[in-house]
Structure 1
Amino acid sequence: MTTEQAEWFAETFERLVANIGQAVLGKTHVVSLTVTAMLAEGHVLFEDAPGTGKTSLARALAATVQGTNSRIQFTPDLLPSDVTGVTIYDQRTQEFEFHRGPIFANIVLADEINRASPKTQSALLEVMEESRVTVDGVTYDAGRPFMVLATQNPIEQAGTYRLPEAQLDRFLIKTSIGYPDHASTVRLLTGSHVRDRSRELHPIITTQAVADMAELAATAHVDPAVLEYVSRLCEETRLAAETRLGVSVRGAIAMVRAAKVWAASQGRNYVLPDDVKELAPAVWTHRLVMDPEAEFTGVTADRVIDRVLADVAAPQSRAAAV
């Protein structure tokens, strides 16, 4: 990635964030994280209270990308075939025909994902990791780009199923939107006659352009010292007394991918340790499995990540590729 390409990347990134920000007011950082996940070819889990705009943000992103999008409302009676699709025998042709499910789209909104049974949730494991679906022994490509935007409500526990660690690990980023500030709330109330702001958005980028930006971001330079820094941070989360399971290798790779996009979004063609620090809570917190005794005493995954970032010294020099 050249300096000129990094500048173009940053300008396009800013346009994407601004377009989505028309529907989700006052949440620039969360929107930036979501766009970062898309360009890093990852998935996002929104966990927040009801009515904070989780679904609106997902719809706004889908409206910004000129591609296919679908919504899956997860319920306890949802079956895996309702997500991936089903093979049906056609009596006219006397052959089995595969009918694609809603998972075959560029942007997939998995609304209230924790309301589906573990069996249905497991239908997402293969497609979120490998962008393909296997049904009756036949593999189907999900296309590119492919992104799952999942939402869950942590407040209401009745009729919900906790996401397994294997599935949480497949989300590149987990974040919360939170309530808007006073000024943004007033703007929302002023435009309360508009039920869905995302419908007023126009696509500003094609799926091919998304793929091109993802490939360009992947060429950003990461100094070996930064890679060692990421590795040490992951090791410290595994050694922490408060955790039963630390950041996996998949989590370390996810950090490098996300950091490359984040650096390019700032107009740089190289990654800084500060990029890792900025992204660590969103990329790593949901990957930690806390010790029950530590949780009982009030220790959270966020506190563990903060302490690890404070304890592990960041590299002070870099060799940036020009």
Structure 2
Amino acid sequence: MSSFKALVATKGETGPNLAFTDFAEADLMEGDVTVRVTHSTVNYKDGLAITGKAPVIRRWPMIPGIDFSGRVETSSHPDFKPGDLVILDGWGTGETHLGAYAQKSRVNGDWLVPLPAGMTPADAMAIGTAGYTAMLCVLALEKHGLKPAHGPVVVTGAAGGVGSVAIALLAKAGWHVIASTGRAEEADYLKGLGASEIIDRNELSNPGKPLAKERWIAGVDAVGSHTLANLLAMTRYGGAVAACGLAQGMDLPASVAPFILRGVSLLGVDSVMCPKPRRLEAWARLAADLDRDKLGAMTSTIPLESVIETGQAIVEGKVRGRVVVEVG
């Protein structure tokens, strides 16, 4: 097709102006692989881009969408040939490089990973960047030497995309999972994913003490700000928190007390520029470790036309789990 359907964002005075339009293939950006996009997803970061609540988009006009799965149409990259099924997460897609909410994308082949055996493109986007980031957090805790026998793990933003996948992965690995959420009505959903305890996010979201009672040995945090500060203050001696998000804020109003008095570690987790070997490890582990029934239980599916309203809803905390976007 010489043109294809895409969601295009142009810069407005109060936020992005969004419109579905026919986009010319000739206007795609440089890259050595062209992919026929079949599926994408709506991550929290996508919601920030769509609503303009954070400066995610840094090039205008832009096709939003930070991740996709699909089939290679053309390639001059040595690792990929036409017909290959691939996944893309990050690398500035939807920020500085035309993104996923379109039927085609042309990208650098080094950004792609092959779809793992036994996984469908829809499965890959049910996981999406949120689930892949959750796996990176689990890997970070494992590489730090932490095990279920050492104590419980807390997951913040538990009903969101990162939180939902993290709970499923950690529970399957044998962890006692404490899920922190502001949505009490999601308790059954979270327990179904494997959470052993549910706590109200208000226990963590307000200013706290520099050092508090030890409650867990590990944490996965997608929230930041006071929540992350309290997680650190309540982490047991020698424990660690993997931090990957900023839903509450980018600030960290904490003290050095947990680090120098309890030997606690803060593990930063980046999914955008993550090196390819670690990406491949994460996707291989997701294919092997993530329960597909639990993945299905946390996933809903929408057409491309519903991306705008879903992006607004995810920022407002009204989206549970994962959302697959059927692009094709």
Could you say which TM-score interval applies, normalised by the shorter chain?
Answer: under 0.3
Higher helix fraction: Structure 1 or Structure 2?
1
Per residue, is there more strand in 1 or in 2? 2
TM-score of the aligned structures, taking structure 1 as reference length: 0.24
- Normalised to the residue count of structure 2, the TM-score between the two structures is 0.24
Instruction: Say which structure, 1 or 2, has more relative contact order (CA 8 Å, 6+ apart).
Output: 1
